[in-house]
Amino acid sequence: MISKFFKTALFFAFAVTLVSCDKDYNEIGTDLVGDDHYQFVPREDMSIAASNHLTGPVQANGQTIVPFGVYNDGGFGKTTANFVTQLELASANPTLTDLVDIDSVRLYVPYNSTYDKTENNVRIHKFNELHGDAATKLNLQIYENQYFLRSQEVVDNQTQAQSYFNDMDATIDAAKAPTLLNDAPSDAYDAGTSVGTVGAENTQFYFKNTEYKLHKYETDVNAGDTNVVAQLPGMYLKLNKAYFKNRILQAPAGMLANNNVFKNYFRGLYFKVSDPSTAKGVLNMMNFTGGAVTIYYRRNITVTNTTTGVSETKPRRFEMKLNMTGNSVTLLNYDNPPTLVPNRIVIKGGEGSIAAVDIISQLEREQMVAEDWMINEANLTFHVDEVAMAGRKRPDRIYLYDMTHNQPLVDYSFDTSTDSDPKKIKKIYSGLIDSSKVNGIYKFFYKVRITNYVRSLIAEPDSTRVRIGVSALENIGESSMVKTKNPIVVPNADGTTTSYNKVPKSSVIHPFGVILHGPESEDVADRLKLRVYYTKPD
């Protein structure tokens, strides 16, 4: 056992060295071609089989970045992305005695944007992850959520983290409180115009890319609000202050004592969107965990003059911050979802579809071992069906993972390459969209290296063989898996089936899909191919 473990560890240590020096190793492989004892052989006819599968509802709680909006993706249908989140007290058990009144309630969730330019003294940003038509108006409705989002559940007498799935929007909607919270008639702000845009905070909401200028409340209620501060672009809304006065500032005794009690008393906010004003719609990737609701209010406090000893009661301004850092669920609804197409691989994020890929038969593997193949590179190349995808947005990247063990492939784990853009790390493993010019026309494809996985088939027992999953994804740095509500049943070559119950977490929030040529596509040149480059003794 010790000897076997040592050989295994030595193999993977050697593989890590090869990956980290990928370019150098390829050059060595090229040098070997001219050696009298070796021949460099590319192989493109090895066994490959692929099947397509709908994921069904997927676990959608606990995501940091989430889609929000309504987006029509043509053949992939329309996605409506709502959201529900708990609120947490930034400071528990606040002092609320001698309350005078509530001044305002403001909700702010920053957008992912970068400063672009200044026009007419207004700072304008560019959205980093907004998709569709930015001019789209939406009907935005925010309600108090009254469905309790638990942190844990008991399954088979074992306590585990609670799972919530993307298809529970109807449940949340049915349990919401009836009062619309974002009921301001316009988006007029303290330091803005006196009128503003009618409906901009509800029925005519849109993702605004300009910074806000706001008056910051002073501690002394008698002082003028002259301190104007800039707020980066975000969802900035005035909420119903009478509602929050009643539910929060005048809450029953003990309800604000700590966050466990508070989250059961006030169960959070439900964000609902509908009625896009454009055919394409708009979808913004948002970090709600960076958002908060701030309640501005006044209390009477007693101040004693240290010189005269005379006490007097004066109103002072205070603020209470409720952070959006509790449990949350991305609520994804679909109209006209995609259908699976023969001889094609349909990959779609969210409650979408994945592919299962099996490569290299047992006979081929035995040949590789018997002939002592030394693998220089192995990759899977997926070509986009350009006709089916004409005029549609393609995912920037696809992801190959180990379906058998619900984990990344070894090549993903070994690739430590970095990039200034976190979505472009792991460039050796890759999966990034690429293109080549054929007869004056650009054709798109995705290539993913599985070199070390193929090496392991030669060096290790048959237990190393895994089924490869293919999905779209939002963030290559996120490799964890989440549950599916129902099993994904995949047929095996022997007529049996295998069930899988997890998909990549990052695929759940990815809003797009792509149609790829399968290994049996009628377009032979664009078929899914496994390419293995190797050397062997002469």
User: Can you give the three-state secondary structure of 76-98, one letter per residue?
Assistant: HCEEEEEEEECCEECCCCCCCCC
Q: Within 150-302, where are the H helices? A: 169-175, 241-244, 259-265
In this prediction, residue 40 carries a pLDDT of 60
Q: Closest Cα to residue 467, out of 415, 530, 409?
A: 409
Q: What is the DSSP letter of 32?
A: H
- Expressed in percent and rounded to 5, the helix, strand and coil fractions of the chain are 20, 40, 40
Q: Are 205 and 220 in contact (CB under 8 A)?
A: no
- Strand (E) or helix (H) holding 235: strand 234-238
Q: Closest Cα to residue 402, out of 500, 475, 519, 509?
A: 500
Structure tokens at 101: 């009144």
Where exactly are the structural domains of the chain?
A: 48-56+338-535, 66-333
CA–CA distance, 241 with 255 (Å, rounded to integer): 19
- Give the distance, in angstroms, between the CA of residue 360 and the centroid of all CA atoms in the same chain: 33
Structure tokens at 313: 């009661």
**Helix 451-459 vs helix 2-20: angle between axes, to the nearest 10 degrees?**
160
In this prediction, residue 254 carries a pLDDT of 97
Q: Any residues with CB less than 8 A from the CB of 295 and at least 6 apart, and which?
A: 102, 104, 105, 241, 244, 248, 249, 319, 320, 321, 322
Provide the terminal-to-terminal Cα distance of the chain, rounded to the nearest Å: 34
Amino acid at 113: S
Q: How far, in Å, are 144, 160, 329 from residue 148 at the CA level? A: 11, 17, 12
CA–CA distance, 372 with 361 (Å, rounded to integer): 17
* Sole residue written with tokens 């890319």: 209
pLDDT values of the chain reduced to their tens digit, one per residue, 538 residues: 444 444 444 444 444 444 444 443 343 333 333 344 355 668 999 999 999 999 999 999 999 999 999 999 988 999 999 999 999 999 999 999 999 999 999 999 999 999 999 999 899 999 999 999 999 999 999 999 999 999 998 888 899 999 999 999 999 999 999 999 999 998 876 444 456 789 999 999 999 999 987 766 555 555 555 667 788 999 999 999 999 999 999 999 999 999 999 999 999 999 999 999 999 999 999 999 999 999 999 999 988 888 888 888 988 889 999 999 999 999 999 998 778 889 999 999 999 999 999 999 999 999 999 999 999 999 999 999 999 998 888 999 999 999 999 999 999 999 999 999 999 999 999 999 999 988 888 899 999 999 999 999 998 866 678 999 999 999 999 999 999 999 999 999 999 999 999 999 999 999 899 999 999 999 999 999 999 999 987 6
In this prediction, residue 110 carries a pLDDT of 97
Query: CA angle, corner 278, sides to 273 and 284, nearest 5?
Result: 50
pTM for the whole thing?
0.89
Q: Are 506 and 60 in contact (CB under 8 A)?
A: no
Q: Are 113 and 127 in contact (CB under 8 A)?
A: yes
* Sole residue written with tokens 């005695």: 97
**Helix 362-370 vs helix 451-459: angle between axes, to the nearest 10 degrees?**
80
Q: 8-20 burial string, b = 16+ CB within 10 Å, else e?
A: eeebbeebbebbe
